[in-house]
Amino acid sequence: MSPTSTLDWTPVCPLDRLDPDRGVAALVDGVQVALFVTGGELYAVDNLDPFGGAYVMSRGIVGSRSGVPTLASPLHKQVYDLRTGRCLDLPDLTLRRHEARCRDGVVEVRLRQEE
């Protein structure tokens, strides 16, 4: 089974280790993931910037556009919808999302297959 086809949830860290609107990088089954809590919701995306090719998305700028939670790349400032991974500036670009949840105070991530 490849690292991107796991069906299991992986415990990452206690929820209280995540600051609102600030990213944290984590290694989940060999994949770098960026975790965010914003607007009371938990999000997990690839830490790899799909435009710049560097592992920096955990350092991105969290915000919103028309009520949509967003993440701007710290390199070239492309803005992504945290709910869908779609780039709002370049429609052909997508940031891979992963499932994230909090269970018993622990953040868990389940990787999604390549989209």
Domains contained in the chain, CATH given: 13-103 (2.102.10.10)
pLDDT score of 4: 42
pLDDT at 27 over 70: yes
In contact, 19 and 3? CB cutoff 8 Å: no
- Mean pLDDT, rounded, for 83-112: 96
C-alpha 85/C-alpha 97 separation (Å) is 6
pLDDT score of 115: 53
On the 0-12 / 13-18 / 19+ scale of CB atoms within 10 A, 103 is: exposed
In contact, 59 and 70? CB cutoff 8 Å: no
Amino acid identity of residue 30, one-letter, is G
